[in-house]
Amino acid sequence: MEQNYTIREFIEKTKQQDKGQGFFELETQRMLEVNLNGQVWAKAGSMISYTGGIKFEREGILEHGLGKFVKKALTGEGSSLMKANGSGKLYLADQGKKITILDLLGESIYINGNDLLAFEPSLEWDIKLMRKIAGMMAGGLFNVRLQGKGMVAFTSHYEPLTLLVEPGKPIFTDPNATVAWSGNLSPEFVTDVQLKTFFGRGSGESVQMKFSGEGFVVVQPFEEVYAADNQS
Protein backbone atom coordinates (compact mmCIF):
# COMPACT_ATOMS: atom_id res chain seq x y z
CA MET A 1 0.00 0.00 0.00
CA GLU A 2 1.46 3.34 -1.04
CA GLN A 3 2.06 5.80 1.76
CA ASN A 4 2.92 9.47 1.58
CA TYR A 5 5.23 11.19 4.06
CA THR A 6 6.07 14.71 4.97
CA ILE A 7 9.82 15.31 4.89
CA ARG A 8 9.91 15.27 8.69
CA GLU A 9 8.02 11.95 8.81
CA PHE A 10 10.29 10.43 6.17
CA ILE A 11 13.45 11.47 8.03
CA GLU A 12 12.11 10.13 11.31
CA LYS A 13 11.22 6.78 9.73
CA THR A 14 14.47 6.24 7.77
CA LYS A 15 17.15 8.05 9.78
CA GLN A 16 20.25 6.26 11.06
CA GLN A 17 19.90 4.88 14.58
CA ASP A 18 22.52 3.65 17.03
CA LYS A 19 21.29 0.26 18.21
CA GLY A 20 24.27 -0.56 20.42
CA GLN A 21 24.87 -3.93 18.78
CA GLY A 22 28.65 -3.61 18.63
CA PHE A 23 31.24 -3.63 15.86
CA PHE A 24 28.79 -4.86 13.20
CA GLU A 25 25.23 -3.54 13.28
CA LEU A 26 22.34 -4.11 10.89
CA GLU A 27 21.17 -0.59 10.10
CA THR A 28 18.57 -2.25 7.87
CA GLN A 29 18.25 -5.83 6.64
CA ARG A 30 20.22 -4.84 3.55
CA MET A 31 22.71 -2.32 4.97
CA LEU A 32 25.58 -3.03 7.36
CA GLU A 33 26.93 -0.41 9.74
CA VAL A 34 30.50 -0.93 10.91
CA ASN A 35 31.40 0.99 14.07
CA LEU A 36 35.01 1.29 13.09
CA ASN A 37 37.88 2.02 15.43
CA GLY A 38 40.79 0.30 13.76
CA GLN A 39 40.50 -1.95 10.71
CA VAL A 40 38.00 -4.10 8.83
CA TRP A 41 38.11 -6.16 5.65
CA ALA A 42 35.21 -5.67 3.23
CA LYS A 43 34.20 -6.69 -0.25
CA ALA A 44 35.67 -4.26 -2.78
CA GLY A 45 33.04 -1.81 -3.98
CA SER A 46 30.64 -2.41 -1.10
CA MET A 47 31.10 1.00 0.59
CA ILE A 48 28.07 3.24 0.16
CA SER A 49 28.75 5.89 2.84
CA TYR A 50 30.91 6.71 5.82
CA THR A 51 31.51 9.34 8.52
CA GLY A 52 34.68 10.17 10.40
CA GLY A 53 38.27 9.62 9.37
CA ILE A 54 38.39 6.42 7.34
CA LYS A 55 40.90 5.53 4.64
CA PHE A 56 40.33 2.83 2.06
CA GLU A 57 43.01 0.68 0.50
CA ARG A 58 42.78 -2.02 -2.13
CA GLU A 59 44.14 -5.34 -0.98
CA GLY A 60 47.87 -5.48 -1.69
CA ILE A 61 49.00 -8.00 -4.30
CA LEU A 62 51.22 -9.89 -1.86
CA GLU A 63 49.67 -8.67 1.38
CA HIS A 64 48.61 -12.14 2.44
CA GLY A 65 51.47 -14.08 0.91
CA LEU A 66 52.18 -15.56 -2.49
CA GLY A 67 49.86 -18.54 -1.99
CA LYS A 68 46.74 -16.43 -1.58
CA PHE A 69 47.81 -14.16 -4.43
CA VAL A 70 48.00 -17.12 -6.81
CA LYS A 71 44.56 -18.29 -5.69
CA LYS A 72 43.11 -14.81 -6.16
CA ALA A 73 44.59 -14.61 -9.65
CA LEU A 74 42.80 -17.85 -10.48
CA THR A 75 39.46 -16.86 -8.95
CA GLY A 76 39.22 -13.45 -10.62
CA GLU A 77 37.88 -10.15 -9.32
CA GLY A 78 34.98 -11.73 -7.43
CA SER A 79 37.15 -12.27 -4.36
CA SER A 80 38.70 -8.78 -4.24
CA LEU A 81 38.85 -7.19 -0.80
CA MET A 82 39.40 -3.69 0.44
CA LYS A 83 40.79 -2.61 3.80
CA ALA A 84 39.20 0.23 5.75
CA ASN A 85 41.28 1.90 8.46
CA GLY A 86 40.34 4.65 10.89
CA SER A 87 37.56 5.73 13.19
CA GLY A 88 33.94 6.39 12.24
CA LYS A 89 30.84 4.73 10.85
CA LEU A 90 31.12 2.75 7.64
CA TYR A 91 28.06 1.61 5.68
CA LEU A 92 28.28 -1.43 3.41
CA ALA A 93 25.82 -3.09 1.03
CA ASP A 94 25.89 -5.43 -1.96
CA GLN A 95 23.20 -5.08 -4.65
CA GLY A 96 20.40 -4.91 -2.09
CA LYS A 97 21.03 -8.45 -0.83
CA LYS A 98 19.94 -9.44 2.68
CA ILE A 99 22.76 -9.34 5.25
CA THR A 100 23.44 -11.87 8.00
CA ILE A 101 25.95 -11.29 10.83
CA LEU A 102 27.68 -14.18 12.59
CA ASP A 103 29.84 -13.92 15.71
CA LEU A 104 32.35 -16.75 15.47
CA LEU A 105 33.50 -18.11 18.83
CA GLY A 106 36.38 -20.20 17.56
CA GLU A 107 34.35 -22.08 14.95
CA SER A 108 35.04 -22.17 11.23
CA ILE A 109 32.73 -21.55 8.27
CA TYR A 110 32.98 -21.55 4.49
CA ILE A 111 31.31 -18.67 2.66
CA ASN A 112 30.87 -18.33 -1.08
CA GLY A 113 33.40 -15.73 -2.22
CA ASN A 114 30.73 -13.64 -3.92
CA ASP A 115 28.59 -13.55 -0.75
CA LEU A 116 31.28 -12.50 1.74
CA LEU A 117 30.63 -8.86 2.71
CA ALA A 118 32.94 -8.03 5.64
CA PHE A 119 34.89 -9.57 8.50
CA GLU A 120 37.04 -8.60 11.44
CA PRO A 121 40.83 -8.81 10.98
CA SER A 122 41.01 -11.10 14.03
CA LEU A 123 39.65 -13.96 11.90
CA GLU A 124 42.01 -16.24 10.01
CA TRP A 125 40.93 -16.77 6.42
CA ASP A 126 41.96 -18.58 3.27
CA ILE A 127 40.62 -18.93 -0.26
CA LYS A 128 39.57 -22.42 -1.29
CA LEU A 129 39.27 -23.18 -4.98
CA MET A 130 36.59 -25.44 -6.44
CA ARG A 131 38.36 -26.13 -9.72
CA LYS A 132 36.74 -29.53 -10.15
CA ILE A 133 33.63 -27.87 -11.51
CA ALA A 134 35.39 -25.50 -13.90
CA GLY A 135 33.68 -25.70 -17.27
CA MET A 136 30.62 -27.42 -15.80
CA MET A 137 28.79 -24.40 -14.43
CA ALA A 138 28.77 -20.62 -14.58
CA GLY A 139 30.91 -19.42 -11.69
CA GLY A 140 30.97 -20.06 -7.99
CA LEU A 141 34.43 -21.58 -8.28
CA PHE A 142 35.82 -20.36 -4.96
CA ASN A 143 34.88 -19.88 -1.36
CA VAL A 144 36.52 -18.39 1.72
CA ARG A 145 37.17 -20.32 4.93
CA LEU A 146 37.10 -18.16 8.07
CA GLN A 147 38.03 -19.33 11.54
CA GLY A 148 38.62 -17.86 14.98
CA LYS A 149 36.92 -15.27 17.16
CA GLY A 150 35.29 -12.30 15.49
CA MET A 151 32.36 -11.11 13.42
CA VAL A 152 31.65 -11.86 9.78
CA ALA A 153 28.84 -10.59 7.56
CA PHE A 154 27.59 -12.38 4.45
CA THR A 155 24.81 -11.69 1.97
CA SER A 156 22.03 -13.69 0.36
CA HIS A 157 19.28 -13.04 -2.13
CA TYR A 158 16.17 -12.98 0.07
CA GLU A 159 15.99 -15.01 3.30
CA PRO A 160 18.61 -17.75 3.78
CA LEU A 161 17.62 -21.27 4.83
CA THR A 162 19.91 -23.44 6.98
CA LEU A 163 19.78 -27.19 6.35
CA LEU A 164 21.21 -29.58 8.96
CA VAL A 165 23.46 -32.34 7.63
CA GLU A 166 23.20 -35.59 9.59
CA PRO A 167 25.28 -38.78 9.32
CA GLY A 168 23.89 -41.07 6.66
CA LYS A 169 21.61 -38.34 5.30
CA PRO A 170 23.57 -36.31 2.71
CA ILE A 171 22.18 -33.03 1.41
CA PHE A 172 22.43 -32.01 -2.24
CA THR A 173 22.40 -28.35 -3.29
CA ASP A 174 22.67 -26.25 -6.41
CA PRO A 175 26.12 -24.54 -6.28
CA ASN A 176 24.61 -21.28 -7.55
CA ALA A 177 22.19 -21.24 -4.60
CA THR A 178 24.69 -22.35 -1.93
CA VAL A 179 25.83 -19.50 0.33
CA ALA A 180 27.79 -21.08 3.20
CA TRP A 181 28.50 -24.28 5.12
CA SER A 182 30.16 -25.38 8.35
CA GLY A 183 33.94 -25.57 8.32
CA ASN A 184 34.10 -29.30 9.02
CA LEU A 185 32.27 -30.24 5.80
CA SER A 186 33.96 -30.90 2.46
CA PRO A 187 31.43 -31.01 -0.37
CA GLU A 188 31.70 -33.41 -3.29
CA PHE A 189 30.55 -32.47 -6.76
CA VAL A 190 28.24 -34.80 -8.65
CA THR A 191 26.74 -34.52 -12.11
CA ASP A 192 23.18 -35.60 -12.80
CA VAL A 193 22.80 -36.37 -16.50
CA GLN A 194 19.02 -36.67 -16.26
CA LEU A 195 18.68 -33.19 -14.76
CA LYS A 196 21.02 -31.89 -17.44
CA THR A 197 18.65 -33.28 -20.05
CA PHE A 198 15.63 -31.70 -18.38
CA PHE A 199 17.04 -28.25 -17.75
CA GLY A 200 19.46 -27.79 -20.64
CA ARG A 201 23.23 -27.75 -20.95
CA GLY A 202 23.68 -24.36 -19.26
CA SER A 203 21.68 -25.15 -16.15
CA GLY A 204 23.34 -25.27 -12.75
CA GLU A 205 21.07 -28.15 -11.70
CA SER A 206 23.22 -30.56 -13.71
CA VAL A 207 26.05 -30.08 -11.17
CA GLN A 208 25.24 -30.57 -7.51
CA MET A 209 27.14 -30.15 -4.26
CA LYS A 210 26.87 -33.19 -1.96
CA PHE A 211 27.36 -32.58 1.77
CA SER A 212 27.91 -35.63 3.96
CA GLY A 213 28.68 -35.98 7.66
CA GLU A 214 27.45 -33.64 10.37
CA GLY A 215 27.09 -29.88 10.07
CA PHE A 216 24.99 -27.31 8.26
CA VAL A 217 24.53 -25.76 4.81
CA VAL A 218 23.04 -22.33 4.06
CA VAL A 219 21.12 -21.89 0.80
CA GLN A 220 19.21 -19.02 -0.78
CA PRO A 221 16.03 -19.08 -2.92
CA PHE A 222 17.94 -17.73 -5.91
CA GLU A 223 20.41 -19.10 -8.44
CA GLU A 224 23.23 -16.60 -8.64
CA VAL A 225 25.02 -16.49 -12.00
CA TYR A 226 28.52 -15.13 -11.82
CA ALA A 227 30.56 -13.16 -14.33
CA ALA A 228 32.28 -15.18 -17.02
CA ASP A 229 35.73 -13.97 -16.00
CA ASN A 230 35.38 -15.82 -12.70
CA GLN A 231 35.58 -19.06 -14.67
CA SER A 232 38.98 -18.40 -16.15
Residue 231 lies in a domain: no
* Residue of 143 and 226 predicted with greater confidence: 143
pTM comes to 0.82
**Given this model, what pLDDT does residue 14 score?**
84
Residue 42: CATH number of its domain: 3.60.160.10
Q: Which of 96, 80, 93, 95 is nearest to 46 (CA)?
A: 93
Residue 230 lies in a domain: no
CB 187 within 8 A of CB 131: no
H helices of the chain, where? 7-14, 66-75, 193-199
* Residue of 140 and 170 predicted with greater confidence: 170
Domain count, the chain: 1
Residue 2 lies in a domain: no
**Given this model, what pLDDT does residue 68 score?**
52
**Given this model, what pLDDT does residue 4 score?**
82
CA–CA distance, 134 with 66 (Å, rounded to integer):
23
pLDDT at position 191 over 50: yes
CA–CA distance, 167 with 93 (Å, rounded to integer):
37
